[in-house]
A and B are shown apart, each in its own frame.
Chain A
């Protein structure tokens, strides 16, 4: 119940394309869902986050879609750029419990 599943494990997208990463959770107690971006040798950095009272949140080229009934959420990266090549982690939180997905390695080809 504490798991967050994330897919795909790796993703290759052409420059200008749309990157989509999906996550699913079981525990309905989760009430905060952040996404993190990690470059090699660096710590994960908060990208965007959503709470379950909204179905979508957009910040620039990054959009989170949230489906509370399906217990799923996804990250869409529009107009993907080579600089977006990184590992992306979804996470789910309630209280002090943060549960991270296993990560998706995104490669954007020039």
Chain B
């Protein structure tokens, strides 16, 4: 168990809808990363927060947004969903901003129908 909690585990929704994925980092970890993994694909970096502030952005679509709250949990909001957004979404946390490992949750599997 990595100590990173992601909810929900599964999400099925229709095109055009909006969903929110939630991540609780490991106790003491200040940094949260979001990744997208499509079927049999690698890990695509979306966005990173450190202690409530956005610090890095990857290939995140404008329809997607995220935030990290004062209690350090993070939410990833996906709107105007398309079929191609179906994927596993992982959250990872780290104690610092580098030089220490990322600890991944077990992901949220999003299916857009």
Chain A residues within 8 Å of B, Cβ to Cβ: 31-32, 34, 36, 41-46, 49, 89, 91, 93-103
Contact = CB atoms under 8 A, between A and B. Distances in A.
B43 interface: yes
A63 to B, nearest CB: 18
Contacts, number: 58
Interface of B: 2, 4, 31, 33, 41-43, 45, 48, 50, 55-56, 90, 92, 97-107, 109
B103 A46 contact: yes
A98 B90 contact: no
Nearest 3 pairs of A and B residues by beta carbon: A43-B104, A96-B97, A102-B42
Contact of B56 (A32, A49, A91, A97): A97
A49 B102 CA distance: 11
Contact of A46 (B41, B99, B102): B102
B50 to A, nearest CB: 7
A96 B98 contact: yes
A32 B98 contact: yes
Nearest to A96: B97
Contact of A34 (B41, B56, B90, B101): B101
Contact of B45 (A42, A98, A103): A98
Nearest to A47: B101
B107 A43 contact: yes
A75 to B, nearest CB: 15
A49 B101 contact: yes
Given A43-B2, A46-B102, A96-B48, 16 more contacts: A36-B104, A42-B106, A43-B105, A43-B106, A44-B104, A45-B104, A95-B98, A96-B56, A97-B56, A97-B98, A98-B45, A99-B45, A100-B43, A102-B42, A103-B42, A103-B43
